[in-house]
């Protein structure tokens, strides 16, 4: 049986609700000024076409790896939740937050409450990190790397507690014979991001994967399709980044796209993963096939 997984990220939903003056202090002020530029990059009509195309493929599960919002204004949270509902029932949609969703310290409480339907483990109603959702033979593990940072920084962090629970989940789900798919916003390898934009405990993550393994890791943040392979006990784990789901300008790898994976069990804890990039066809506003996810063979 084939399980179809869709992965999209970084839609940066707009337009921004009008901020109150008192909301525009510190990091939000620089972020608001930055948004004037960003607003022209992210096209909500293209995003809606992309989601329609994804739904037409009837994915068994949708993974959304963060930056659904922009500067963490209180009014952005309900808008983000409304948009997440357009992807499907929360049972079929998993979300992990990005740096723009955990923008300032006051965002964290909103984040935990607003996104609980998409960030809770099976049988629970509250956000937990990491969370585990099992669908068929697939274990979806969601991590949060979204932490508030100072102005001009976009880094992330997992923290030791979350990493320890993550390691235990990887072992538990492997023992159950499940295919382990890990979702995280920041690219979780050392070369994955420029200084100030990366995961601060990235070395610990790499070591953890080397020891406990995983079958697939997906991330956002860089707004482009990119594949890296992390070593793990005699094999490698594909780590795949996706373009922003709403970006219109830029090079072909940066323009609006999502990834569609077809996963087939091969027995004895092995799976085949067929990945395809679907997004803006060159020179058009149509969504179509842009070729396979470039896994190393």
CB of 202 to Fe ion, least distance (A): 15
Residue 224 C-alpha from the chain's centroid:
12
CA gap 241, 219 in Å, rounded: 5
Report long-range pairs for 289-295 (Cβ below 8 Å, ≥24 apart).
290/252, 290/257, 293/225, 293/227, 293/240, 293/259, 293/261, 294/225, 294/227, 295/227, 295/238
Judge contact between 184 and 195, C-beta under 8 A.
no
By the rule CB under 5 A, 221 interacts with Fe ion: yes
Q: Which two tokens stand for residue 266?
A: 């091969």
CA distances from 46 to 3, 77, 159, 248 (A): 26, 21, 36, 8
Output 28 or 180, the one with its CB closest to Fe ion: 28
Dihedral of CA 212/216/220/224: which sign? positive
Q: Which of 94, 99, 120, 149 binds Fe ion (CB under 5 A)?
A: 99
98 forms part of the interface with Fe ion (CB under 5 A): yes
How many angstroms separate the Cα of 15 from the Cα of each of 33, 79, 237, 255? 14, 10, 37, 19
Q: Which stretch binds Fe ion (CB under 5 A): 30-38, 121-129, 215-223, 249-257?
A: 215-223
Among the candidate windows 11-19, 59-67, 222-230, 246-254, which touches Fe ion by CB under 5 A?
59-67
Number of residues that bind Fe ion (CB under 5 A): 4
Q: Could you say whether residue 42 binds Fe ion (CB under 5 A)?
A: no
- Of these, 23, 67, 101, 206, which contacts Fe ion (CB under 5 A)? 67
The distance of closest approach from Cβ of residue 34 to Fe ion in the complex, given in angstroms and rounded to an integer, is: 13
Residues numbered 171-190 forming contacts with Fe ion, rule: CB under 5 A:
none
Rounded to the nearest whole angstrom, what is the least distance from the CB of residue 77 to Fe ion in the complex? 17
Least distance (Å) between residue 69 CB and Fe ion? 10
Apex 137 CA angle, 132 and 138, nearest 5: 45
Closer residue to Fe ion in complex, CB, 61/221: 221
| CB-nearer residue toward Fe ion: 67 or 76 | 67
DSSP 32: H
User: Cβ 196 to Fe ion, closest distance in Å?
Assistant: 12
**Using CA atoms, how far apart are residues 97 and 108, in angstroms rounded to an integer?**
10
Q: Which is nearer to Fe ion, 72 or 98 (CB)?
A: 98
Least distance (Å) between residue 137 CB and Fe ion: 30
Residue numbers at the binding site for Fe ion (CB under 5 A): 67, 98-99, 221
């Amino acid at each position: 049986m084939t399980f179809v997984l869709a992965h999209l990220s970084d839609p940066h939903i707009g337009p921004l609700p009008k901020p109150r003056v008192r909301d525009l202090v510190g990091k939000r002020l620089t972020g608001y000024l930055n948004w004037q530029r960003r607003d022209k990059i992210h096209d909500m009509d293209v995003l809606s076409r992309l989601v329609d195309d994804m739904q037409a493929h009837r994915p068994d599960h949708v993974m959304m790896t963060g930056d659904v919002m922009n500067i963490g204004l209180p009014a952005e949270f309900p808008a983000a939740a409304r948009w997440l509902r357009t992807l499907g029932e929360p049972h079929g949609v998993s979300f992990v937050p990005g740096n723009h969703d955990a923008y300032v310290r006051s965002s964290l409480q909103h984040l935990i409450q607003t996104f609980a339907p998409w960030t809770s483990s099976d049988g629970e109603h509250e956000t937990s990190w990491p969370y585990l959702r099992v669908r068929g033979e697939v274990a979806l593990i969601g991590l949060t790397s979204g932490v508030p940072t100072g102005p001009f920084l976009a880094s992330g962090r997992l923290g030791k507690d979350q990493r320890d629970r993550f390691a235990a989940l990887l072992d538990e789900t492997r023992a159950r014979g499940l295919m382990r798919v890990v979702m995280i916003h920041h690219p979780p390898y050392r070369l994955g991001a420029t200084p100030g934009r990366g995961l601060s405990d990235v070395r610990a993550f790499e070591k953890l994967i080397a020891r406990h393994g995983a079958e697939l890791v997906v991330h956002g943040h860089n707004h482009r399709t990119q594949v890296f392979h992390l070593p793990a006990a005699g094999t490698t784990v594909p780590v795949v980044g996706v373009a922003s789901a709403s970006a219109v300008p830029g090079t072909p790898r940066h323009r609006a796209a999502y990834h569609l994976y077809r996963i087939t069990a091969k027995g004895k804890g092995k799976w085949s993963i067929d990945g395809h990039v679907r997004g803006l066809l060159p020179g058009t506003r149509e969504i179509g096939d842009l070729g396979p996810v470039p896994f190393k063979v």
